[in-house]
Amino acid sequence: MVELLPLSDIEPQAVEHLLDAAFGTDRFGRTAYRIRAGMAPVPALSFAAVERGALVGTIQCWPVAHHAADGIATPLVMVGPVAVRPDLQRSGHGRLLMAHMLAAAETGADSALMMIGDPEYYGRFFGFAAAATAAWELPGPYEKHRLLARAINGHDLPTSAGMIGPR
């Protein structure tokens, strides 16, 4: 039986260990890490999956913004990493974590959602798409088709050119 808890209930070192296992210890060079450097996750949208006392999955969300050239900043919530312990992947934990986060975001998100991820997963199951993000920029390399976004809780997506960075 999987229990979903606030991520803040979990020892930070256990979370880092899980992320190393899912993404590798070289994960810190990724563009997503550059965007959220120095930030704390959004507590109400970050969760842990725990099974028989062991951490088996995590989802974290971050307060970022789309900064347009005219100086207008549109807040966004950056979703990810979503990580499942490698030996338990493809048994529904990722979908459970995403569904739990989206349910919380439906009423609690203060802005639309964005992420860097596989559209074959996040589009297929959760309604994320790259259509709105074509003119966005990130502070590092990324594949355009993997820059995804989703409106939620009445918050629309900016579609103009703009850099994603801290709020």
Distance, in Å, from the CA atom of 119 to the CA atom of 84, rounded to the nearest integer, reads 18
- For position 118 contacting ligand COA by CB under 6 A, the verdict is yes
Q: Which of 7, 15, 22, 112 binds ligand COA (CB under 6 A)?
A: 22
89 binds ligand COA per the rule CB under 6 A: yes
Indicate whether 120 belongs to the interface with ligand COA (CB under 6 A). Answer: yes
Rg (C-alpha) for the chain, rounded Å, is: 15
Cα distances (Å, whole numbers) of residue 2 to 38, 53, 93, 147: 30, 9, 8, 30
CB of 141 to ligand COA, least distance (A): 15
Cβ 80 to ligand COA shortest distance, Å: 6
Q: Tell me which DSSP letter residue 131 carries.
A: G
What residues pair up with 48 in beta bridges, in sequence order? 5, 58
- Of the candidates 50, 79, 84, 112, which one interacts with ligand COA according to CB under 6 A? 84
Note the residues at the interface with ligand COA (CB under 6 A).
22-23, 82-84, 89-95, 117-118, 120-121
